[in-house]
C-alpha cells in the first residue's frame, strides 16, 4: 500500500501541491486528471522522489520513502518505475540496449554503461519487448521508431526493473488515438496480469474513465475528486477542468478506439467530491 500523508510541494513561493492525503492499495490502476498546472506531474514525481516534497510523508508498505537517501533511494526508484510523455530513451542506442538500462539497479552502473549484459538478461529484455509486441525491433536503432513504438519500448524498460509500482506521466499525450490505445492497453495488461500498481497522469477524461479503477481529480494543487469512474459525473469533471473542460471532453480517444477492457474492476469508494 502506498500512503501519502499531508504531502505538499512548493516551488519558490508557488504551491504546486497543497497538503494531500492519499492511500493507494496494491494492484490498483489510478488515473490522475486535471487541467494544466493542477499539480499532477509534481504529485507523481514526488512519489518516486524526482521532486523532493516540501512537507508531509510518503510511505510504502510502512517504509518511509520521504527520508530515503543514497542506495535506499535508488532501490525505491527501481521499485517505482516511471514512464514519461517524451519516452526518455537514448535514440542512438538500439531498442534492446535501451530496455536493458532498466536493469541498472540489478546489474550495476558500470556494467550497464559498458553495455555488458548476460544472455539471461537479454532474454529477459526480449520477453518484455515481446509482451509489448516489440520483440521484432529489438536490434533496431531506437530513433527510427514511431512515438507509439518508443513508448512501448519505454514501458518494456520499466517492466524489466521488476517494479511494484509504475508511474506514468502523460504517457499518451504525444500519441495518436490508435497508439494511445495500444499504450493504455499495455499499461492495463501489466496492471491486471502482474498485479503492478499503475498511477497514470492523463489529460483526457474518457481515457481515465475507460482504463482506471479509480480517478483522482486535481485542481490548483488540491485533490478535489477521488472515486471510481462511475462516480465522476460530467458536472464533477467540468468543475475539475474549469476552462479546459471543452478540450478535455473533446480530446477523448475516438469512440471506435475506446472499448472497455475486459477484467474485473475492484470496488472503489468515492472520498471527495467538490
Ligand atoms: N520545477 C519547477 N519549478 C517551478 N515551478 C514548477 C516546477 N514544476 C512545476 N512547477 C509549477 O507547479 C505547478 C504544477 O505543475 P505540474 O507540472 O505539476 O502540473 P500538471 O497538472 O502536471 O500540468 P501539465 O498537465 O501541464 O503537466 C505549476 O504552476 C507549475 O508551473
Give the separation between CA 132 and CA 252, rounded to whole angstroms.
23
- Write the residue with the smallest CA distance to atom 13 of ligand 1: 16
Extents of the domains making up the chain: 2-257+267-273
* DSSP 8-state secondary structure symbol assigned to residue 4: E
| Residue to probe by mutation, ligand 1, list 11, 13, 173, 207, most atoms within 8 Å of CB | 11
Give the separation between CA 38 and CA 249, rounded to whole angstroms.
17
* DSSP 8-state secondary structure symbol assigned to residue 94: B
CB of 16 within 6 A of ligand 1: the answer is yes
- Write the residue with the smallest CA distance to atom 11 of ligand 1: 16
Give the separation between CA 140 and CA 95, rounded to whole angstroms.
6
pLDDT confidence tier of residue 258, bands split at 50, 70 and 90: very low
pLDDT confidence tier of residue 256, bands split at 50, 70 and 90: very low
Residue 55, CA distances (Å) to 68, 118, 208 in order:
14, 42, 28
pLDDT confidence tier of residue 265, bands split at 50, 70 and 90: low
Q: Which residues sit opposite 226 in a β-bridge?
A: 216, 272
User: Cell numbers of 250, please?
Assistant: 473533446
CB of 37 within 6 A of ligand 1: the answer is yes
pLDDT confidence tier of residue 106, bands split at 50, 70 and 90: confident
3-class DSSP assignment, residue 87:
coil
Extract long-range pairs of 87-91: CB within 8 Å, 24+ residues apart. 87/147, 87/150, 87/151, 87/153, 87/154, 88/154, 89/142, 89/150, 89/153, 89/154, 89/157, 90/142, 91/141, 91/142, 91/143
CB of 31 within 6 A of ligand 1: the answer is no
How does 186-200 read in b/e, with b if 16+ C-beta sit within 10 Å?
A: bbbebbbeeebbbbb
| Residue to probe by mutation, ligand 1, list 7, 17, 33, 40, most atoms within 8 Å of CB | 40
pLDDT tens string 219-238: 999 999 999 999 998 888 88
pTM of the model: 0.89
CB of 11 within 6 A of ligand 1: the answer is yes
pLDDT tens string 3-38: 999 999 999 989 999 999 999 999 999 999 999 999
pLDDT tens string 141-157: 999 999 999 999 999 99
pLDDT tens string 111-120: 655 666 788 8
Placement of cell 481515457 in the chain: 207
CB of 40 within 6 A of ligand 1: the answer is yes
CB 176 within 8 A of CB 5: no
- Write the residue with the smallest CA distance to atom 29 of ligand 1: 37
Distance (Å) from CA 238 to ligand 1 centroid: 21
pLDDT confidence tier of residue 204, bands split at 50, 70 and 90: confident
Residues 80-104: what's their mean pLDDT?
Answer: 92
- The topology (CATH level 3) of 2-257+267-273 is Rossmann fold (3.40.50)
Amino acid at each position: 500500500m502506498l500512503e501519502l500523508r499531508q504531502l505538499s510541494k512548493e516551488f519558490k513561493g508557488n504551491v504546486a501541491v497543497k497538503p494531500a492525503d492519499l492511500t493507494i492499495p496494491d494492484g490498483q490502476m489510478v488515473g490522475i486528471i486535471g487541467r494544466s498546472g493542477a499539480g499532477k506531474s509534481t504529485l507523481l514525481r514526488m512519489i518516486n522522489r524526482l521532486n523532493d516534497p516540501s512537507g508531509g510523508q510518503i510511505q510504502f508498505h510502512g517504509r518511509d520513502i520521504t527520508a530515503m537517501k543514497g542506495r535506499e533511494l535508488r532501490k525505491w526508484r527501481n521499485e517505482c518505475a516511471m514512464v514519461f510523455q517524451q519516452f526518455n530513451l537514448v535514440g542512438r542506442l538500439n531498442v534492446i540496449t535501451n530496455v536493458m538500462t532498466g536493469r541498472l539497479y540489478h546489474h550495476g552502473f558500470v556494467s550497464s554503461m559498458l553495455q555488458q549484459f548476460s544472455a539471461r538478461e537479454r532474454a529477459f529484455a526480449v520477453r518484455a519487448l515481446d509482451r509489448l509486441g516489440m520483440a521484432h525491433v529489438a536490434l533496431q536503432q531506437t530513433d527510427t521508431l514511431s512515438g507509439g513504438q518508443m513508448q512501448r519500448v519505454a514501458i518494456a524498460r520499466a517492466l524489466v526493473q521488476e517494479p511494484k509500482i509504475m508511474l506514468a506521466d502523460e504517457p499518451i499525450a504525444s500519441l495518436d488515438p490508435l497508439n494511445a490505445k495500444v499504450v493504455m492497453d499495455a499499461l492495463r495488461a501489466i496492471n491486471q496480469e502482474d498485479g503492478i500498481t499503475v498511477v497514470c497522469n492523463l489529460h483526457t477524461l474518457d481515457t481515465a474513465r475507460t482504463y482506471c479503477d479509480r480517478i483522482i481529480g486535481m485542481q490548483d494543487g488540491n485533490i478535489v475528486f477521488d472515486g471510481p469512474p462511475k462516480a465522476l459525473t460530467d458536472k464533477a469533471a467540468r468543475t475539475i477542468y474549469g476552462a479546459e473542460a471543452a478540450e478535455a471532453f473533446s480530446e477523448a480517444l475516438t469512440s471506435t478506439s475506446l472499448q472497455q477492457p475486459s477484467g474485473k474492476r475492484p470496488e472503489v469508494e468515492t472520498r471527495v467530491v467538490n
